[in-house]
């Protein structure tokens, strides 16, 4: 009886998950033009703020490449330190007639841990590298000017090769620069 109830619960769970999954697609595979459901880039999954629309269009106003910035920093230098140790282990064996034989052995092992030993220098990243494009007349709205979008390096180089006020259409990684 218990396994029959488990099967019923599993069946209901499958139908609920399938139903909620169908509701959760939100028309991404429909008239959006991409045809893929749930496709995300590595930048999107890293927690960047993504604009509401899939793509933007407008007139190229400016492009900007922000270099990565690092500073010299120090952190503790950790080394692995191991000590030899022993442990007393109890062994028990039962014979066929109900008798029990017990004996002890001493086994050796390495007790290892990380300990601080001085400091080490490294380069800490304080600003990541970014590629940005500024648009005017975003999505055909004449009043929406000077809007920065973070883009991929390929989109940046495409925009860099275009003349100022050339029409651009791309999918930004994030809004702002």
170 — phi, psi (to 5°)? Answer: -155, 170
Distance from C-alpha of 137 to C-alpha of 58, rounded to nearest angstrom: 5
User: Residue 25 above 80 pLDDT?
Assistant: no
Q: Which long-range contacts (CB under 8 A, 24 or more apart) does 144-148 make?
A: 144/58, 145/61, 146/61, 147/58, 147/175, 148/64, 148/175, 148/176, 148/177
User: Residue 29 above 90 pLDDT?
Assistant: no
Tokens 């139903």 sit on residue: 19
**What is the structure's pLDDT at 173?**
92
**What is the structure's pLDDT at 137?**
86
Using pLDDT thresholds of 50, 70 and 90, give the confidence band for residue 22.
low
Cα angle value 13/15/21 (rounded, 5°): 100
Q: What is the pLDDT of residues 58-70, one digit of tens each?
A: 999 999 999 999 9
Do 133 and 159 touch, CB atoms closer than 8 A? yes
67 — phi, psi (to 5°)? Answer: -70, 155
Do 77 and 63 touch, CB atoms closer than 8 A? no
CA distance to 63, 99, 113, 133, per residue, from 66 (Å): 10, 78, 41, 11
Q: What is the pLDDT of residues 94-117, one digit of tens each?
A: 887 778 889 999 999 999 999 999
**What is the structure's pLDDT at 55?**
87
Distance from C-alpha of 141 to C-alpha of 143, rounded to nearest angstrom: 6
Tokens of 99: 């008798």
Q: How many CB atoms lie within 10 A of CB 66?
A: 13
**Mean pLDDT on 135-151:** 87
Q: What is the pLDDT of residues 33-48, one digit of tens each?
A: 333 333 334 333 334 4
Do 76 and 104 touch, CB atoms closer than 8 A? no
Least confident of 62-71, 77-86, 141-150: 141-150
CA proximity to 148, closest of 135, 159, 163:
135
**Domain edges within the chain:** 1-39, 40-68+128-177, 71-124
**What is the structure's pLDDT at 5?**
75
Do 73 and 124 touch, CB atoms closer than 8 A? yes
């Amino acid at each position: 009886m218990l396994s029959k109830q488990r099967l019923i619960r599993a069946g209901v769970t499958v139908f609920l998950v399938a139903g909620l999954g169908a509701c959760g697609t939100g028309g991404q595979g429909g008239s959006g033009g991409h045809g893929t459901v749930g496709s995300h880039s590595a930048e999107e999954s890293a927690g960047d703020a993504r604009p509401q629309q899939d793509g933007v269009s407008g007139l190229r106003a400016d492009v900007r490449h922000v270099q990565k910035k690092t500073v010299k920093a120090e952190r503790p230098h950790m080394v692995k330190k191991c000590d030899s140790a022993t442990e007393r282990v109890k062994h028990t064996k039962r014979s066929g007639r109900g008798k029990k034989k017990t004996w002890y052995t001493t086994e050796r092992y390495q007790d290892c841990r990380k300990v601080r030993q001085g400091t080490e220098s490294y380069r800490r990243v304080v600003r990541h590298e970014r590629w940005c494009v500024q648009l005017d007349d975003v999505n055909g709205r004449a009043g929406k000017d000077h809007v920065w979008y973070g883009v991929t390096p390929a989109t940046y180089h495409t925009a860099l090769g275009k003349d100022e006020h050339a029409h651009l259409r791309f999918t930004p990684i994030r809004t702002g620069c």
